[in-house]
Amino acid sequence: MLSAEEWRILGTSLGVAGRAVIFSLPIAIAFAYALSRPRFPGKPVLDVVAHLPLVLPPVLIGYLLLQGFGRRSAIGGWLENEFGAKLAFTAEGAALATAVMAFPLMVRAIRLSFEAADGGLFEAASVLRAGPWDRFLSIALPLAWPGVLAGAVTAFAAGLGEFGAVITFAGSKAGETETLPLAIYAALQVPGKEALALRLASISLLAAVAGLVAAELIQRWARRRLEA
Amino acid sequence: MSLVVAGAVVRRGAFTLNAEFEAPAQGITVVFGPSGAGKSMLLSMVAGLHKLEAGKVSLGGRVLEDVAARERVPAHRRGIGLVFQDARLFPHLTVRGNLLYAERRRPADRNTPIIDDVAEQLDIVGLLDRAVKNLSGGEKSRVALARAILSAPELLLLDEPFAALDGKRRRAFLAMLRDVSARVSLPMMVVTHQIEDAAELADHVVALKDGRVIAHGTASGVMRRQEFVALLDRRDLGSRIDSSAVAGGKAGGVWVRADSVILATEPPKGLSARNVWPGHIASIHTEDDGSKLVSLATEAGYISSRITPEALAELGLKEGAQVWAVVKTHSL
């Protein structure tokens, strides 16, 4: 059904979005849990940081990543010298850019499910000798995991289509960083490739819709399971 | 060992609780008072779910919280259990999962009781593998109690755990509480606003009104005090009698309402009532509506009877006169 080229592009997109979700999920969970707690010092700052990628232009995110992790930057240079790790213009870089862009989506979905948990259950756990970490692992996370999963799936679906930050920080190398939107854009620049662009656009649309439907189904199933 | 609350102040919104009392950490202490008196808040405070603004709380000499000394043991390190009014079972776990949650977290040196025993005692063996959402209100209460017992606390606080239960089940739950407290020698502090429950359960009483402790001490002592009686509804007026004085009575006490006591000037004969106490009239009080509240000194303690002024005149009752108090066992 799909040509070798299309498989390669889809594969690149899935790989980049998958790694982006895996890397950022633990951090997103930590942010979301912190933001779901009652007031604490620094909460507004944390809130702003978590939502920044939502309002900044994606190209600016890519530019900031280049400044921070490019080969000539302090962190980028150190990473390359110490570990031989390159981020700029690599698949890992594309995953990092995608992770940053999808981060607010994940934090919002996960935070909502942490906030939906009945605070009385935490009190019940603490009088059964469960400390703060224990309560997080044994009550908060199990109750919120459908939201965590839904957030991850939504972020994954969105990550398949990340354009600006990826092209700025990771370029568009076939088989490495050329994801679906980059390939669509490239195909549109070349006369006679409209058919390819249309097919890639269809794949992109299907993947995004599938992601949203999956996230919704997970949420519904979880509600049925927990509601009395 | 005892629970000592000294000069404790807790605030939530516009409500302030000022607590000062000492209660022995054995048997059952009832926290009694009308709605909004601060009973639940008192339990939250002792459990460590509510921070003190001032004062000190200690249990058996161990300081739990001392504002002046900036000391505070968090709730999970207090070893104090709390059964909430709304049970608060964990919805992502089965009944057994809820019980194991408590069992796995108790310290190794308090390695009793075991789930099977408690489940049997509280009649929840058949529920163990059920999902929490499929339980009735009464079942939830029993599972919540079982979970708290399995956590092996040094003191168990209960916030009207029987509020969801009706007549017969409620009495059974109360009897079970007494039984459990005695069998696993677990001191309890139980909140209620029902005078019958208070009389039945209490070895000790802490009475609250408008965020203040107005009386505390033994049940037999506190429950006949003027300030305690003042908390009661007119139709609840009466007196506490030790269960041992009642035909077919068990441990604890019973509340005898003044309205359910009949007076006789001669030893009654041919009566179906099982409880007849001879005594002398200690005082006669006229209520606002003209009813007469007659207080008798009997061998079972003081008993009040509410009668009409006509009955008082007809029987020629006077202070010091000998009378017999008749109470139907059913109303005990």
For the segment B229-250, what is each residue's pLDDT rounded down to a tens digit?
A: 889 988 888 888 887 777 665 6
Reported confidence tier of residue B332, pLDDT bands at 50, 70, 90 = low
Tell whether B105 lies on the interface with A, counting CB pairs under 8 A: yes
Beta bridge partners of B188: B28, B156
Q: What is the ipTM of this complex?
A: 0.87
Q: Spell out which residues of chain A touch residue B136, defining contact as CB-CB under 8 Å.
A: none
Q: Does A116 touch chain B (CB under 8 A)?
A: no
Position B329 pLDDT exceeds 70: no
B65 - beta bridge partners?
Answer: B57, B72
Q: Indicate the pairing of strand B28-32 with strand B204-209.
A: parallel
Q: Provide CB contacts within 8 A for B300, sequence distance 6+.
A: B241, B242, B245, B246, B277
- Nearest chain A Cα to B91, which residue? A226
Q: Which of B111, B170, B113 is nearest to B146 (CA)?
A: B113
- DSSP helix, strand, coil percent of chain B (3-state; round to 5): 30, 35, 35
Average pLDDT, chain A: 89
Please report, rounded to a whole number, the percentage of residues in chain B having pLDDT higher than 90. Answer: 54
pLDDT confidence of residue B267: 87
Structure tokens at A37: 């707690």
- Asked whether the predicted pLDDT for residue A221 surpasses 90, the reply is no
The pLDDT tens digits for B288-297 are 888 999 999 9
The confidence score (pLDDT) of residue B249 equals: 58
Do B49 and A128 count as a contact with CB atoms less than 8 A apart?
no
Q: What is the pLDDT of residue B94?
A: 95
What distance in Å separates the CA atoms of residue A130 and residue B304, rounded to the nearest whole number? 49
Please indicate if any CB of chain B lies within 8 Å of the CB of A34: no
- pLDDT surpasses 70 at B263: yes
Helix A180-189 and helix A4-36, axial crossing angle in degrees, nearest 10: 130
Q: What is the pLDDT averaged over residues B270-281?
A: 82
Element (H or E) spanning B189, and its range?
Answer: strand B188-192
- Distance separating alpha carbons of residues B91 and A223, to the nearest angstrom: 11
- Chain B nearest-CA residue for A129: B76
Beta strands B253-257 and B261-264: pairing type? Answer: unpaired
At B24, phi and psi to the nearest 5?
A: -65, 135
What does the block give as tokens for A159? Answer: 């990550």
The structure tokens listed for A180 are 């679906």
For residue B100, what is the nearest residue in chain A, using CA coordinates? A128
Buried b (16+ CB within 10 A) or exposed e, B45-84: bbbbbbebeebbbbbeeeebbbbeeeebbebbebbbbbbb
Minimum Cα–Cα distance from B84: chain A residue: A124
- The overall average pLDDT reported for chain B is 89
Sign of the alpha-carbon torsion through B248, B252, B258, B263:
positive
How many Å lie between the alpha carbon of B94 and the closest alpha carbon of chain A? 11
Contact assignment for A121 to B74 by CB distance below 8 Å: no
With tokens 């965590």, the residue in question is A148
Chain A partners of B149 at a C-beta cutoff of 8 Å? none
pTM of this prediction exceeds 0.80: yes
Query: What are the tens digits of pLDDT across the range A98-149?
Result: 999 999 999 998 999 899 888 899 999 999 999 999 999 999 999 988 889 8
Which residue in A120, A127, A228 is closest to B81 by CB distance? Answer: A127
